[in-house]
A = this chain, B = another copy of it.
Amino acid sequence: MEYPTVLIENAVNEISKLPGIGKKSALRVVLKLLKEKPEYTETLSEALLKLRNETKYCRICHMISNTEECTCITPKRDTSVICVVEDTPDIMAIQQTAQYNGLFHVLGGLISPIDGIGPEDLNIQSLTDRIQNAEYQVKEIILALSTNMEGDTTAFYLAKKLKPFNLKLTTIARGVPIGGELEFADEITLGRSIVKRISYDLNED
């Protein structure tokens, strides 16, 4: 594509580095910016720069925060459970379900030898420190990690690392999505759902 000016070309190139935005969408963004008042572009740039330069990470749970300590230690939450996730969006997704009221811990990635990411690159030491020094006793650690090789490796490593603490270690349930048609489930998920099948509690009322 030939752009009318270098300014447009540069802007398109930078914008299209963002996830989910190709050159065509980037050009639409550029034309929109040129159509709107200059103030809009200024507000947008300012929001991006402020975001990048002022965002902090909680020193306890490592979640994105605007202070050194986030609301992760609020007494409103169940302090006996910590849910371990890869990154902040996972926390947002879990919060959205309104089914969990415990604490979180962000690893900041998953163990991936191919990408050169080892356990020492993740917030694992700070997790064990946190369990050891907790004001209220931690009784359960829930692993909410991706179901891929990196997720499984990380879960395996964490299981070994957390064994001495003698607490309950669980993982979120894997299986056929609720509302999903059985015939459309992928065969690995379906296979695992059969192997790891759950007994009905017939005494439940």
Could you list which residues of chain A lie within 8 angstroms of chain B, going by C-beta atoms?
1-8, 10-11, 13-15, 17-21, 25, 27-34, 38, 40-45, 47-55, 63-66, 70, 87-89, 91-92, 95-96
Flag if A48 contacts B44 (CB, 8 Å).
yes
Q: Flag if A33 contacts B11 (CB, 8 Å).
A: no
Contact A7 B92 (CB under 8 A): no
Instruction: Please determine whether A51 and B10 come into contact, CB atoms closer than 8 angstroms.
Output: yes
* 16 additional A-B residue pairs with CB within 8 Å, beyond A4-B70, A7-B47: A2-B95, A3-B92, A4-B92, A6-B66, A7-B50, A7-B54, A14-B44, A14-B48, A15-B47, A19-B25, A19-B32, A38-B52, A41-B49, A41-B52, A45-B48, A45-B49
Q: Chain B nearest CB: distance from A93 CB in Å?
A: 10
Which residues of chain B are within 8 angstroms of A40 by Cβ–Cβ distance?
17
A14 / chain B contacts, CB cutoff of 8 Å:
43-44, 47-48
Complex Cα distance A70/B4, Å? 9
Contact in complex: B43, A8 (CB < 8 Å): no
Nearest B-chain residue to A45, judged by Cβ? B45
Q: Which residues of B contact A87 (CB under 8 A)?
A: 31
A-B contact pairs, 26 of them (CB 8 A): A4-B63, A4-B65, A4-B70, A5-B55, A5-B65, A7-B47, A7-B51, A7-B55, A8-B55, A8-B64, A10-B47, A14-B43, A14-B44, A14-B47, A17-B40, A18-B32, A18-B33, A20-B28, A21-B25, A31-B88, A31-B89, A33-B52, A34-B64, A41-B49, A41-B51, A42-B49
